[in-house]
C-alpha cells in the first residue's frame, strides 16, 4: 500500500488557531469518508487515541464506538478519567471493559518480563476482538497513527526490509474487513498535543508522559501480585502528584515507580515491619535510546519518601535509581 507523505507545503501546527483550522478540515473529511457508517476505536486514554476520539466525536458523534479495555495495569485514575471525559463529558458511545481479573489471573506466577509482555499484548487483542465481534454494522476502524509511524514504515520499505505495519491494533477477525480512518496520520506528536488542546481535552491527558503498553505490569517486577500492584499504583500516584506540585512534571520526560519482589526488614510504630522498597526513576531523553538522570532536589525526595512510607501499605523504603541508559534501560523489565 502506498503510504501518504506529508506535503512539503503543510505548515507545522503550533497555535490553537492552526489546530482549529486542521480540526475543521478533518471533520469535513471524516464526514465525507464515513457518511452514516459506524466507526470503531480502541481508546487507551493515551494522547493519540484520545485526540482521535475527541476529533471523531466532533465529526460524527455517536457513530463512533470507543472501546476502552482496562487491563488492570493502568495507573491510578486513568480508566476513570476515560469514563469521565469521554463517557460523561463528551457523551461518547463508550464500551468500558474491566478485564482486570482476566489479565491478573493469566499473569499469576509469571515472572519473565517478555512472557508478561506477550500475555498482556495477546490478551489485549483477544478482549478487543471479542468486544468488536459483539458490535454490528461497523465498517470503519479508527487509529491514532501519527506521522513518525508512517515515516518508520516508509524507511523500512525503502531499506528493503518488510514493511512494518503501523496498523497496530492487530488481530481483528479477518471477516471484519474495515476501512481505516486515521485523521492525525500526518501530524507529529507536538502537533497532536496542540490539536488535543484545541479540542478541549484536559492538559494532563494531552501532555501525559509516555506509558508502556503493558503498563504497571512491567513495573511490578517479577510475578505480579495484587497487593504489590496496589502498592505500586498508590506510590506512583504520590510520585506524580509531587512532581506536579514542584514543576518537575513539566521538565522530566518519564518518571515512575517500580517495586521489586523483595522485602526488607523495617520498623513502623515501634514494631518490626517487613515491606517492599519503592524505586523512583526519573529520566530525560529525546528518543528513548539513551537517557540521562534528572536531578531531583533532596527536599522533594524526602517528601516523596515520607509520603510513600507513611501512606502506602506494604512499603517501608524508598530508593532513587541514579543509573543512566546505558547501562540501565528506562524500565526495569
Ligand atoms: P527501555 O526500558 O527499553 O524503554 O529503555 C524505552 C521506552 O519504551 C517504553 N517501553 C515500552 N513501551 N511497550 C511499550 O509500549 C513495551 O513493552 C515497552 N517497554 C518499554 C519505556 O516506557 C520507555 O519509554
**189-233 confidence digits (pLDDT tens):** 999 999 999 999 999 999 999 999 999 999 999 999 999 999 999
Q: Model confidence at 157, in pLDDT bands (50, 70, 90)?
A: confident
Atom of ligand 1 nearest to the CA of 210: 24
Would 124 be classed as within a structural domain?
Answer: yes
Q: What share of the chain is helix, strand, coil (3-state, %, to 5)?
A: 45, 15, 40
Euclidean distance between CA atoms 305 and 133, whole angstroms: 47
Atom of ligand 1 nearest to the CA of 213: 15
Q: Do 54 and 115 share a domain, yes or no?
A: yes
CB 212 less than 6 A from any atom of ligand 1: yes
CA 7-3-17 angle, 5° bins: 40
CB atoms within 10 A of CB 239: 24
Q: Do 236 and 178 share a domain, yes or no?
A: no
Q: Do 87 and 223 share a domain, yes or no?
A: no
CB 130 less than 6 A from any atom of ligand 1: no
Q: Do 89 and 157 share a domain, yes or no?
A: yes
Q: Model confidence at 13, in pLDDT bands (50, 70, 90)?
A: very high
Q: Do 192 and 306 share a domain, yes or no?
A: no
Euclidean distance between CA atoms 163 and 184, whole angstroms: 20
State in Å: Cα 208 to ligand 1 middle. Answer: 15
Q: Model confidence at 174, in pLDDT bands (50, 70, 90)?
A: low
Q: What would the mean pLDDT of 77-104 be, rounded to a whole number?
A: 98
Q: Do 168 and 144 share a domain, yes or no?
A: yes
State in Å: Cα 211 to ligand 1 middle. Answer: 8
Euclidean distance between CA atoms 250 and 63, whole angstroms: 36
pLDDT for res 133: 94
Euclidean distance between CA atoms 60 and 298, whole angstroms: 50
pLDDT for res 112: 98
Q: Model confidence at 156, in pLDDT bands (50, 70, 90)?
A: confident
State in Å: Cα 26 to ligand 1 middle. Answer: 31
State in Å: Cα 218 to ligand 1 middle. Answer: 9
Q: The CATH number of the domain where 278 resides is what?
A: 3.30.300.10
Q: Do 286 and 143 share a domain, yes or no?
A: no
Residue indicated by cell numbers 476505536: 41
Q: What would the mean pLDDT of 326-332 be, rounded to a whole number?
A: 98
Give the sign of the dihedral formed by CA 255, CA 256, CA 258, CA 263: positive
Atom of ligand 1 nearest to the CA of 288: 6
Q: The CATH number of the domain where 172 resides is what?
A: 3.40.50.620
Q: Model confidence at 155, in pLDDT bands (50, 70, 90)?
A: confident
Q: What is the pLDDT of residues 253-264, one digit of tens each?
A: 999 999 999 999
Q: Do 185 and 108 share a domain, yes or no?
A: yes
CB 58 less than 6 A from any atom of ligand 1: no
**pLDDT reading at 164 higher than 80:** no
Q: What is the pLDDT of residues 91-109, one digit of tens each?
A: 999 999 999 999 999 999 9
Determine which residue's CA is closest to atom 22 belonging to ligand 1: 212
Q: Model confidence at 2, in pLDDT bands (50, 70, 90)?
A: low
Would 2 be classed as within a structural domain?
Answer: no
Q: Do 141 and 178 share a domain, yes or no?
A: yes
**pLDDT reading at 168 higher than 90:** no
Share of the chain above pLDDT 70, in %: 95
Q: Model confidence at 173, in pLDDT bands (50, 70, 90)?
A: low
State in Å: Cα 307 to ligand 1 middle. Answer: 27
The last residue of one of the domains, among 175, 210, 245, is 210
Would 3 be classed as within a structural domain?
Answer: no
Q: Which of 288, 326, 327 to mutate to test the pocket of ligand 1 (most atoms within 8 A of CB)?
A: 288
Q: Do 299 and 193 share a domain, yes or no?
A: no
- Pairing verdict, β 254-258 and 276-284: antiparallel
By CB atoms closer than 10 A (0-12, 13-18, 19+), residue 78 is buried
**pLDDT reading at 165 higher than 60:** no
Atom of ligand 1 nearest to the CA of 328: 5
Euclidean distance between CA atoms 123 and 29, whole angstroms: 34
**pLDDT reading at 234 higher than 70:** yes
For 84-132, the three-class secondary structure string (H helix, E strand, C coil) is HHHHHHCCCEEEEEECHHHHHHHHCCCCCHHHHHHHHHHHHHHHHHHHH
Concatenated DSSP letters for 223-287? S--HHHHHHHHHHHHHHHHHHHHTTHHHH-SEEEEEB-S--B--EETTEE--BEEEEEEEEE-SS
State in Å: Cα 331 to ligand 1 middle. Answer: 6
Would 159 be classed as within a structural domain?
Answer: yes
Would 330 be classed as within a structural domain?
Answer: no
Would 263 be classed as within a structural domain?
Answer: yes
* Alpha-carbon distances, residue 33 vs 5, 55, 94, 178 (angstroms): 19, 14, 22, 13
Q: Model confidence at 167, in pLDDT bands (50, 70, 90)?
A: very low
238 touches 312 (CB < 8 A): yes
CB 331 less than 6 A from any atom of ligand 1: yes
Q: Do 78 and 150 share a domain, yes or no?
A: yes
Q: Which of 213, 218, 330 to mutate to test the pocket of ligand 1 (most atoms within 8 A of CB)?
A: 330
Range of the domain at 28: 16-210
CB 288 less than 6 A from any atom of ligand 1: yes
Determine which residue's CA is closest to atom 12 belonging to ligand 1: 212
Helix-helix angle 47-60:189-198, to 10 degrees: 40
Q: What is the pLDDT of residues 106-153, one digit of tens each?
A: 999 999 999 999 999 999 999 999 999 999 999 999 999 999 999 988
The last residue of one of the domains, among 187, 210, 233, is 210
pTM for the whole structure = 0.94
CB atoms within 10 A of CB 225: 15
Would 10 be classed as within a structural domain?
Answer: no
Average pLDDT, the chain: 94
Q: Model confidence at 176, in pLDDT bands (50, 70, 90)?
A: low
Domain total for the chain? 2
CB 330 less than 6 A from any atom of ligand 1: yes
pLDDT for res 333: 98
**Looking at per-residue confidence, does 37 or 156 come out higher?**
37
Atom of ligand 1 nearest to the CA of 333: 2
The last residue of one of the domains, among 186, 210, 234, is 210
Would 225 be classed as within a structural domain?
Answer: yes
Q: Do 156 and 33 share a domain, yes or no?
A: yes
Q: What would the mean pLDDT of 73-85 be, rounded to a whole number?
A: 98
Beta bridge partners of 65: 40, 93
Amino acid at each position: 500500500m502506498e503510504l501518504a507523505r506529508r506535503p512539503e507545503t503543510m505548515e507545522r501546527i503550533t497555535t490553537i488557531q492552526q489546530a482549529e483550522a486542521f480540526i475543521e478540515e478533518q471533520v469535513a473529511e471524516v464526514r465525507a469518508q464515513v457518511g452514516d457508517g459506524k466507526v470503531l476505536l480502541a481508546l487507551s486514554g493515551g494522547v493519540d487515541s484520545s485526540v482521535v476520539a475527541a476529533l471523531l466525536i466532533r465529526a460524527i458523534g455517536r457513530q463512533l464506538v470507543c472501546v476502552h479495555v482496562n487491563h488492570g495495569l493502568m495507573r491510578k485514575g486513568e480508566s476513570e478519567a476515560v469514563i469521565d471525559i469521554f463517557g460523561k463529558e463528551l457523551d461518547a458511545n463508550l464500551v468500558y471493559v474491566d478485564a482486570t481479573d482476566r489479565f491478573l489471573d493469566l499473569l499469576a506466577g509469571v515472572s519473565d518480563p517478555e512472557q508478561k509482555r506477550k500475555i498482556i499484548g495477546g490478551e489485549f487483542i483477544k478482549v478487543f476482538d471479542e468486544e468488536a465481534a459483539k458490535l454490528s454494522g461497523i465498517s470503519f476502524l479508527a487509529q491514532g497513527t501519527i506521522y513518525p509511524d508512517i515515516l518508520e514504515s516508509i524507511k523500512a520499505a525503502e531499506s528493503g526490509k518488510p514493511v512494518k505495519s503501523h496498523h497496530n491494533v492487530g488481530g481483528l477477525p479477518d471477516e471484519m474487513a474495515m476501512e481505516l480512518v486515521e485523521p492525525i496520520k500526518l501530524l507529529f506528536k507536538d502537533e497532536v498535543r496542540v490539536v488535543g488542546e484545541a479540542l478541549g481535552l484536559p492538559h494532563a491527558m494531552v501532555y501525559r508522559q509516555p506509558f508502556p503498553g503493558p503498563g504497571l505490569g512491567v513495573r511490578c517486577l517479577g510475578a505480579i501480585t495484587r497487593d504489590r500492584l496496589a502498592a505500586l499504583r498508590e506510590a506512583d500516584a504520590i510520585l506524580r502528584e509531587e512532581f506536579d506540585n514542584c514543576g518537575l512534571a513539566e521538565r522530566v520526560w518519564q518518571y515512575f515507580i517500580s517495586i521489586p519482589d523483595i522485602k526488607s526488614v523495617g520498623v513502623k510504630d515501634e514494631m518490626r515491619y517487613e515491606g517492599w522498597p519503592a524505586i523512583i526513576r526519573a529520566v530525560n531523553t529525546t528518543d528513548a535510546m539513551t537517557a540521562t538522570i534528572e536531578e531531583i532536589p533532596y527536599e522533594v525526595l524526602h517528601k516523596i519518601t515520607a509520603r510513600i512510607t507513611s501512606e502506602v501499605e506494604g512499603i517501608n523504603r524508598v530508593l532513587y535509581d541514579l543509573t543512566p541508559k546505558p547501562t540501565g534501560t528506562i524500565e526495569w523489565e
